[in-house]
Amino acid sequence: MAIAPAFRRLGVWTLLVLGFLATQKVSSADEQAESQAPSSAMEAQLEERVRRNPADASAWRLLGRSRMQRSDWSGAMNALKTAVQLDQMSAAAFYDYGVVSQEMGEEEQAAGAMQRVIVLAPESAYATTARTALTELTSSGVVPASYEIRSFDGSNDAPLIRDPRDEEETNSFFKTLKKDLDLRLDFGTQWNDNVSLTPSSRELLAGNLASAQGNASLSARYIAYSTDQFRIGPTLDIDYALNEGNFDNLNLQSYRSGAFADAVFEVDDIKVKPRIAYSFTHDLFGGNTFGRRHTIATSVGFVWSPTQITTAYFSYDTNNIKNRRADIPITSQDGVSNTLGVLHDYVRKDSRFRTFRVGADVARVNAEGSTFRYNAISIFTQSVIVIIPKLHLTTRAGYAYRDYYDFTLSPSRNTHVFRTGGELRKYFDHGLSAALVSQYDAFQAKNDNFHSNRFLAGGVVTWEY
């Protein structure tokens, strides 16, 4: 009989414990609801605020932060993308945009946003944290590459303006066309202390990006149809660059396919050579698409005499960067560019000073993002000196000034661009040659964030058919 009261007491204590736990659970739920209520209410207020005033950048950023707090990364991204579009000077908005981008696995986009934070507010706490984040992003293999449209020394206009075969023959435009197919293969190795420059990228990255490289390229032109005064055909250019293992994300593949049509006729003893060419460029870094470009170039060459040739040219480019950073309008490198120029060649086939070229052009890059929008003027020169028969020294130099007229920060991003370089080439029989090459590029701006340079040196073996 004494056991029954004990069971009753145990039952009472059990009910008391269960009641206490239930009370605590209700209390905890109430506290959670209370803690979430202000956040939900604030987010609702912010949503109403941006509905009434869609141009309120501050409200969009606060809405993004509110969504970040509850890990709604997609919703936060939508709000913060709007915030940075409306206020391109907000380091806080770009920082939050970078954090969300990194959470969503968009590391290139995150790196672009963090770079922007450092440019906007280099002494701020945001910039300090952004530098740490950027270090982590770049160490994981993400290198935010830049994309500029045309070279500044005329070098990448040459295949579009004049066929290389024309430079050795000025008396007859078609005398050298003994075959319909033109091939050139290059294989080389070099040391490159800034591996970010590609055939479609004309801006160097700041930082230590040095690597030994292996290079290979193919250039092919086929004359599909020709007469005494006209010819037309397809073109193909391919470039490969392999870097050391820590820069394999910058291994380059560049494919440029296109077509050309040109003609020749005489006007008062002056040979006139009109030409039009189209080229499509597809660049890949580390096997991933980096950018695409469509180019149309027109030119007119005037052969005044066997030694004097002048060429005027105009090119039009459209660019599409397969890079998430283009989602930030101020750093978008998509857009259109135009280049208008003239060059003059002085050719002396029997002289030690074989050829001399001087040229100048003006360019306008109308990129979507103000960071990459500029006008430019450039001058360039090239000369070929015959040291001994079949041993030629080629020297090149160029200078350009870029006016980033819509750049909104201080100091200015306006840039002086310098290039110098050359090659010493030995020619053998059967189209074979070998050369030692070197080149130096420098981008100098008052704004240190856009200061960069590159030096490369190496050797190349060439076979031409």
Mean pLDDT of 246-263: 85
Greater confidence (450 vs 139) lies with 450
Q: How far apart are CA 163 and CA 226, in angstroms?
A: 15
What pLDDT is attached to residue 411? 80
Nearest to 145 by CA among 195, 193, 72, 93: 195
Residue where a domain terminates, one of 112, 139, 166: 139
DSSP H or E stretch at residue 31? helix 3-52
Q: For residue 446, is pLDDT > 60?
A: yes
CATH number of the domain where residue 313 is located: 2.40.160.40
Percentage of the chain exceeding pLDDT 70 = 76
Residue 225 and residue 353 in one domain: yes
Mean pLDDT of 154-168: 45
Q: Is the separation of the CB atoms in 152 and 400 below 8 Å?
A: yes
The reported pTM is 0.70
Residue 100 and residue 172 in one domain: no
Residue 225 and residue 126 in one domain: no
* Count of domains for the chain: 2
SS3 1: coil
Q: How far apart are CA 434 and CA 70, in angstroms?
A: 63
Residue 386 CB partners (closer than 8 Å, separation 6+): 351, 352, 353, 354, 392
In a domain, 175, yes or no: yes
Residue 201 and residue 78 in one domain: no
Residue where a domain terminates, one of 107, 139, 171: 139
- Quickly state the pLDDT bin for 168 (edges 50, 70, 90): very low
Residue 227 CB partners (closer than 8 Å, separation 6+): none
Nearest to 435 by CA among 112, 216, 188, 206: 188
Cα within 13 Å of Cα(306), Cβ side: 7
Residue 235 and residue 121 in one domain: no
Residue 317 and residue 434 in one domain: yes
Greater confidence (184 vs 131) lies with 184
What pLDDT is attached to residue 228? 84
Mean pLDDT of the chain: 78
Residue where a domain terminates, one of 114, 139, 164: 139
Residue 207 and residue 251 in one domain: yes
What pLDDT is attached to residue 458? 94
In a domain, 31, yes or no: no
Low-confidence winner among 60-69, 79-88, 325-334 (lowest mean pLDDT): 325-334
Name the H helices within 70-141.
Answer: 73-86, 91-103, 107-120, 125-139
Beta strands in 115-251 (DSSP E): 181-192, 211-222, 225-226, 230-243
In a domain, 11, yes or no: no
Q: For residue 233, is pLDDT > 80?
A: yes
In a domain, 419, yes or no: yes
Residue 70 and residue 199 in one domain: no
In a domain, 34, yes or no: no
Residue 132 and residue 247 in one domain: no
Q: What residue has token string 């440029």? A: 256
Mean pLDDT of 235-250: 83
In a domain, 131, yes or no: yes
Q: How far apart are CA 268 and CA 304, in angstroms?
A: 10
Q: For residue 16, is pLDDT > 70?
A: no
In a domain, 196, yes or no: yes
Q: For residue 182, is pLDDT > 70?
A: yes
Residue 114 and residue 227 in one domain: no
Residue 409 is which amino acid? L
Residue 55 CB partners (closer than 8 Å, separation 6+): 86
Residue 316 and residue 381 in one domain: yes
SS3 207: coil
Q: What is the pLDDT of residues 41-63, one digit of tens each?
A: 888 888 888 999 988 888 999 99
Residue 324 and residue 234 in one domain: yes
CATH number of the domain where residue 68 is located: 1.25.40.10
Range of the domain at 116: 53-139
Q: Is the separation of the CB atoms in 371 and 391 below 8 Å?
A: no
Low-confidence winner among 149-158, 200-209, 259-268, 444-453 (lowest mean pLDDT): 149-158
In a domain, 147, yes or no: no
